[in-house]
Amino acid sequence: MAPRPRYLQWQTVAEYVIVVAIVLESIFFAVYAPQFLSLPNLINIALSIAITGILAVGMTAVILTGGIDLSVGSVAALAGIVAAMVAGSSAPGAVALAALAALGVGLAVGVFNGVMVARFRVPPFVVTLAMLTICRGLAFVVTDGRSISDLPPGFALFGREVFLSVPVPVWLMLLVFAAGWFVLKRMTFGRYVYAVGGNREAAFLAGVNIKGVTLLVYVLNGLLVGLAGLVLASRLGAGVPNAGNQCELDVIAAVVVGGTSLNGGRGSVIATLWGAVFIGVLNNGLNLANVDPYTQRIALGVVILLAVLADQLNKTRGQVIA
């Protein structure tokens, strides 16, 4: 039997490591704060990572192709604002139209990012950094810097309702993760995503439509950003122009901590879920320990650095072996 490819070996190891890390930090926080393992607190952890998780699925696909999206927080805020504006109107079916409007905003930005990266070969970092600034500015211009509130009760469905004792945002996150796993692991398109990020030249020679795959990845990511913006506005009960500020840090952290390589071609949606859980447990545990938010950001930065360092060491080791 042929040995497993090195990237699959690393992916498996990364998943085991992150699961063990979650167990260890959970034990530590449970000893330090007994209320950590209470059912309400566990549900609170799941709810706290719901929006990050939805965004992280799209980010995983983007990073697998060797790209990045720094605009997710700003676009989510803009999508939430547009959704709130539509929901607050007197139009028939305003709540349903609000959901479509949020997805439309995410889709439009995703198409723009994809075209810039795939067709005009603008570096993803530059394109999405520009969109981060543009969308955040639009959010403040459209609202004149004020929140859009007084929304109909039905708008709470996406962020505040509970189904089978579990908040709706958590269900949405799990559905998005399941769909992301199926697309990347069971569909031909998913294999193309890995191929583009793993070896762009080899993928091209194999007949993969590099531009088409890249464009579609950013489009799908945009749709998920729109969904996250809808859930965020629903949870807040308003369209808030500074919502999702620095959200991209948590999203990228979840993806990287889960073992997805920033170089592309290596990673998985399931590992990203574990990464999001790790960060959610870490933040929740530090809150219970009364650690100030600034120190929590330092801890998160250290975790990201260690994850990237481990990936880089693995890449260097693979080059030496080769």
Q: What is the pLDDT of residues 266-280, one digit of tens each?
A: 899 999 999 999 999
Strand boundaries in the chain, DSSP class E: 162-163, 166-167
Could you tell me which residues are beta bridge partners of residue 239? 148
Q: Express each pLDDT in 167-219 by its tens digit.
A: 999 999 999 999 999 999 999 999 999 999 999 999 999 999 999 999 999 99
pTM tops 0.85: yes
Is the model's pLDDT at 315 over the cut of 80?
Answer: no
Report yes or no: 263 and 66 within 8 Å, Cβ to Cβ.
Answer: yes
The closest of 104, 100, 84, 44 to 236, measured between CA atoms, is 84
pLDDT of residue 18: 87
pLDDT of residue 17: 84
Q: What is the mean pLDDT of residues 230-251?
A: 94
Give percent of the chain above pLDDT 90: 76
Q: Express each pLDDT in 12-68 by its tens digit.
A: 666 778 889 999 999 999 998 889 999 999 999 999 999 999 999 999 999 999 999
pLDDT of residue 233: 97
Query: Greater confidence, 322 or 93?
Result: 93
pLDDT of residue 13: 67
In a 3-state reduction of DSSP, which class is residue 270?
helix
Give the model's confidence band at 103: pLDDT under 50 very low, under 70 low, under 90 confident, else very high: very high
Q: What is the mean pLDDT of residues 251-261?
A: 92
pLDDT of residue 163: 93
pLDDT of residue 2: 43
Cα torsion through 121, 135, 85, 172, rounded to 10: 60
Domains in the chain (CATH in brackets) are 13-20+38-314 (1.10.3470)
